[in-house]
Structure 1
Amino acid sequence: MIKRQTALLLAGLILPLVVSAQSQTPTSETSIATHDPSSIQKEDGQYWYFSTGHGIQAVSSPDLQHWKVEKSIFEKGTWPNWIDSTVQGFKGHFWAPDCVRMNGKYYLYYSCSTFGSPTSAIGVATSPTLNQQSPDYRWTDQGMVVKSKVKADFNAIDPGLMRDTDGRVYMVYGSFHGGIGAAEIDTVTGKIKAGTTVKRVAGGRESDWEAAALVKEGRYYYLFVNNGLCCKGLNSTYYIVVGRSESPLGPFLDQTGRDLTVGGGTVVLRTAGQYIGPGHVGLLREGNRNLVSIHFYDAENKGRPRLDLRLLKFKNGWPNLDTKYPTSSGGIHAKL
């Protein structure tokens, strides 16, 4: 698990900072330490994302500009009991969550592993609301979704969920090792649908593929995946590639017609200026706007991991993430 060998010490140790309102170029970034952000969810006018951290970091905003760190999903020192017997040595530092609403609830998927080991698991918890002030707010763990034990397996981290236009839900996941797997999810249990198998859709042979996300636009499904190495601050080499298919389970081909399972992948976003090692795509559809959340390592702030928002556009059937999401204020404020 090359991705995690350096650990996510940046995300765990760096305190949130405040970005000056005098910034000359308004951006949609938050200075809250953010690694592996989930897709952004919107409930009753409030935006939420979840990210790597002890107990799973939860962050909210009323306007995508002013962000606040909320109470973690699992209280300090506690986590579901099944994890202890599945991932020995787990210390409560959850990785790369993703969230989807289905069956009248929010389903929060999370990763459990230990550094340098293929022994990993993805679990899921449900809550009727994201609003931590609501009397209905309560995360109930639903147990394990998938696990891995050896390097030949799809490493059970980095879940990415997508609800299709017909209501069916799919999950992609994986990191290095066996590559990226994809499977349909039962929209009631939140687990892999009975009678289906996980299919390899990218990577394999321990190559550097991880942080997958599935997006549908028109008749195509687009698989965004990261190549390179994360978690090294200014030395991170992460970049985002994409392939497309007319099926959510592939095969996914790049613009040259090369399959992502044999090393294909059209580059969508790579290091540029302040933005080192961009990665971990998540999509929020809001009206006519497609808003993508990613993390990057800030070259202007010692390589600290931060959230960035991009507008997802399509041209000639292929995605573009070059356009930053504009904000109406002169700066982004983060607070505890």
Structure 2
Amino acid sequence: MKFFKWTLLLFSYSVLSGACSSESNEPDIDETTISISAPSVSNVTEDRATIIATITTNTPSAILKKGICYDTQSNPTISNRTIEMSSAGLSLNLTITELEPETKYYAKAFATVANGNPVYSTEISFTTAARSITSELDKYIAPSYPDDYTSIADWSNRSQWNLANVHDPSIVLAEDGYYYMYQTDASYGNAHEYGGHFHCRRSKDLVNWEYMGGTMNSLPGWVIPKLNEIRKAMGLNEVQPAINTFGYWAPCVRKVRNGLYRMYYSIVCPGLLNGENTWGERAFIGMMENTDPANNGGWEDKGYVITNASDKELNFNVKPDDWTNCYYKWNAIDPSYIIDKDGKHYLVYGSWHSGIAALEVDAATGKPLNTLPKPWGTEEDIAPYGQLLVTRQIGNRWQASEGPEIIYNPNTGYYYLFMAYDALDVPYNTRVCRSQSILGPYLGIDGTDLTRFGGEMLPIVTHPYKFSNSNGWVGIAHCAIFDDGNGNWYYASQGRLPKDIPGINASNAVMMGHVRSIKWTSTGWPVVMPERYGAVPQLPITEDELTGSWEHIDLSYSYGKQKTSNTMTLSADHKVTDGSWKGATWNYDADNQRITFSNGVEVCLQREVDWEASPRTHTIVYAGYTNSKTYWGKKKK
């Protein structure tokens, strides 16, 4: 064993107690010697290693600090990372933690004394083990909040809500690293009525959410005057609706640039246009701005943006049950906002009626780029109110589609328009289409031109479903689509419990916020994972993990029906040996985490929470499309 010797001259001084200056004496000179043995390393794992060394000295009391210094570069010193031994004694036995797997480290033992340079041992090196899937996943703790949150649903328990009482969420990633979520005024038992409007919560990890309260204290002062201004111009009487009868729906929040955030929101006016047996009153889209969403009270209202537009001139006495012949062409609710790849700003909006419209807005103000005419007239008169993007049925204003959400994915070069279909209580489901131009034409996965001819939008992204050992979820739509800036995309919406669950009063009014990961198919279509996001470690999925039994769901469209699972089994020799695809073969692309089946179906894989397990744990899920069908699956434990 080699030793290194170090000699230090120590000087002793006497200090006059209580004096402002001291008088030095002749120093006493002692020789202190320190030797440190070459370290040895043991118990090396993927994230830790134990290092042992021995210090030899004739003056133990002279040592101030002792320990191990280490780095990924050779010749570490105490200016790099260190771990110290605080206990007495000269034998070092220290475990370094939080190391990176499959990484080479260099380490030395050290000791320091007063007024002297540190003493080091010889250098050793070691390499940590490869990441262990088992150990990493075994450490994982799944979210524990209940799906039935009725016991904490009231306003007094709002600090415990997490993702309880969420409806029509909009999510933005802010400069401070938080995701901020805003929503429609809707909650179990109308708990939100006490706290203003367009409620906010935030999260750093998309799992744990902090409730922050309403962003708008009361009905904006411009709403009723604007309503009566339009009514007067239409020859209608002025109205003074009660403040608590207005609807506050579907905000959309976007970061415009550093230090500027915009929220477009819907205000739905109560009443009828011209008394009994006439069509309903209009809605407005307004806009607020904030420099920092952490300042939840800092939203400044910027006022009116747009309202419903009618191509029926002043023939507003359409009966309220004449659905297909509605008075309005465009319904001014459900805004979505996008800055396109060329830097132009667009407001995309609409619900039922004639479909979804796009309107260019001024980048500086967020208001319409061009002055809008009166919101009634001929079709040509109201053309400035927007250009049609998609419609479910040409010529039918009872569309059963709403809640547009538009994004651009630079990795695929497409704009994606997500839509909510059907009634929101149980049947609600999500669809998506895409276009290489912001203004279309938008095509479904089956090639249907939804801009020029209309039609059923495919693929289906979410749909009422049920895995075993659970009540499942329904009403999963009106989504937010957002990314983390690193290529990871997410889907968020409410999910409702089914109707008439024993022991839960009004169970279908339970609305839990769902956040789910999005993966992308080899042809550039987004698939939403069947289990909610739970921050499961995304370690590589190996082929041997895929063999065994899966819960498989054909998620294809069936109005209001909860799609249930059956068992599908994959064998190690790449065959499907049980289930609806029995007889097919399968191949795994480990680099992209996709399985391709011989029946033409490609599915994307992800590690996610098994929310139906007790206790909850992690599993592997899949989602995939054909041109007419959607499939979800979950690996059985």
Length-normalised TM-score, structure 2: 0.44
Following TM superposition, the consecutive aligned residue runs of length 4 or more in structure 1 with deviations greater than 6 angstroms are 329-332
Residue number among 347, 363, 367 corresponding to 1:191 in the alignment: 367
Q: State whether residues 122 and 144 of structure 1, in contact with CA within 8 Å, keep that contact through their aligned partners in structure 2.
A: yes
Query: CA RMSD, aligned part only?
Result: 3.0
Q: State whether residues 56 and 93 of structure 1, in contact with CA within 8 Å, keep that contact through their aligned partners in structure 2.
A: no
Correspondence 1:1-336 to 2 at 5 A:
14-15=153-154, 30-53=162-185, 54-75=196-217, 78-87=218-227, 89=241, 91=244, 93-103=247-257, 104-114=259-269, 117-132=280-295, 138-148=298-308, 150=310, 151-194=327-370, 197-203=385-391, 205-217=397-409, 218-230=412-424, 232=425, 236-261=426-451, 262-266=454-458, 267-273=460-466, 274-286=472-484, 287-299=486-498, 302-303=507-508, 304-315=510-521, 316-323=523-530, 324-327=532-535
Please give the secondary structure, in 2, of the residue aligned with 1:85: helix
Q: Which amino acid aligns with 1:94?
A: Y
Counterpart Cα distance in 1 of 2:214 and 2:610: 26
Please give the secondary structure, in 2, of the residue aligned with 1:165: coil
Counterpart Cα distance in 1 of 2:173 and 2:154: 24
Q: Which amino acid aligns with 1:293?
A: A
Q: Which amino acid aligns with 2:390?
A: A
Q: Which amino acid aligns with 2:288?
A: A
Counterpart Cα distance in 2 of 1:43 and 1:73: 19
How far is the alpha carbon of 1:97 from its aligned partner?
Answer: 0.3
Please give the secondary structure, in 2, of the residue aligned with 1:132: coil
How far is the alpha carbon of 1:163 from its aligned partner?
Answer: 2.5
Tell me the alpha carbon deviations over residues 271-292 of structure 1, each in whole angstroms, 9 at most, x when there is no partner: 1122212112212211121112
Q: Which amino acid aligns with 1:142?
A: K
Counterpart Cα distance in 1 of 2:201 and 2:170: 10
Q: State whether residues 120 and 149 of structure 1, in contact with CA within 8 Å, keep that contact through their aligned partners in structure 2.
A: no
Q: Which amino acid aligns with 2:334?
A: D
Q: Which amino acid aligns with 2:475?
A: G
Please give the secondary structure, in 2, of the residue aligned with 1:84: helix
Q: State whether residues 172 and 254 of structure 2, in contact with CA within 8 Å, keep that contact through their aligned partners in structure 1.
A: no
Q: 1:174 to 1:185 in 2, by over 3 A?
A: same
Q: Which amino acid aligns with 2:420?
A: N
Counterpart Cα distance in 2 of 1:81 and 1:284: 32
How far is the alpha carbon of 1:331 from its aligned partner?
Answer: 11
How far is the alpha carbon of 1:96 from its aligned partner?
Answer: 0.4
How far is the alpha carbon of 1:162 from its aligned partner?
Answer: 2.0
Q: Which amino acid aligns with 1:318?
A: W
Counterpart Cα distance in 1 of 2:221 and 2:153: 28
Partner of residue 24, structure 1: none
Counterpart Cα distance in 1 of 2:354 and 2:284: 14
Counterpart Cα distance in 2 of 1:82 and 1:290: 37
Q: State whether residues 266 and 335 of structure 2, in contact with CA within 8 Å, keep that contact through their aligned partners in structure 1.
A: yes
Q: Which amino acid aligns with 2:267?
A: C
Counterpart Cα distance in 2 of 1:56 and 1:43: 21
Tell me the alpha carbon deviations over residues 115-147 of structure 1, each in whole angstroms, 9 at most, x when there is no partner: 6835001000111110127xxx62211111110
Please give the secondary structure, in 2, of the residue aligned with 1:260: coil
Counterpart Cα distance in 1 of 2:154 and 2:340: 37
Counterpart Cα distance in 1 of 2:331 and 2:167: 18
Q: Which amino acid aligns with 2:198?
A: I
Unaligned runs of 5+ in 1: 1-10, 21-28
Tell me the alpha carbon deviations over residues 166-216 of structure 1, each in whole angstroms, 9 at most, x when there is no partner: 333222111111211112222211112227651111225221110001121
Please give the secondary structure, in 1, of the residue aligned with 2:225: helix
Partner of residue 26, structure 1: none
Tell me the alpha carbon deviations over residues 241-278 of structure 1, each in whole angstroms, 9 at most, x when there is no partner: 11111111112111222122422311221111222121
Length-normalised TM-score, structure 1: 0.81
Q: Which amino acid aligns with 1:212?
A: P
Counterpart Cα distance in 1 of 2:438 and 2:281: 26
Q: Which amino acid aligns with 2:462?
A: L
Please give the secondary structure, in 2, of the residue aligned with 1:73: strand
Counterpart Cα distance in 2 of 1:322 and 1:36: 19
Counterpart Cα distance in 2 of 1:208 and 1:70: 33
**Highest CA radius of gyration, 1 or 2?**
2
Q: State whether residues 329 and 397 of structure 2, in contact with CA within 8 Å, keep that contact through their aligned partners in structure 1.
A: no
Q: State whether residues 163 and 512 of structure 2, in contact with CA within 8 Å, keep that contact through their aligned partners in structure 1.
A: yes
How far is the alpha carbon of 1:305 from its aligned partner?
Answer: 1.2
Q: State whether residues 169 and 493 of structure 2, in contact with CA within 8 Å, keep that contact through their aligned partners in structure 1.
A: yes
Identical-residue share of aligned pairs (%): 27
Q: State whether residues 118 and 148 of structure 1, in contact with CA within 8 Å, keep that contact through their aligned partners in structure 2.
A: no
Unaligned runs of 5+ in 2: 1-149, 186-195, 228-239, 272-279, 311-326, 372-383, 467-471, 538-608, 612-637
Q: State whether residues 172 and 255 of structure 2, in contact with CA within 8 Å, keep that contact through their aligned partners in structure 1.
A: no
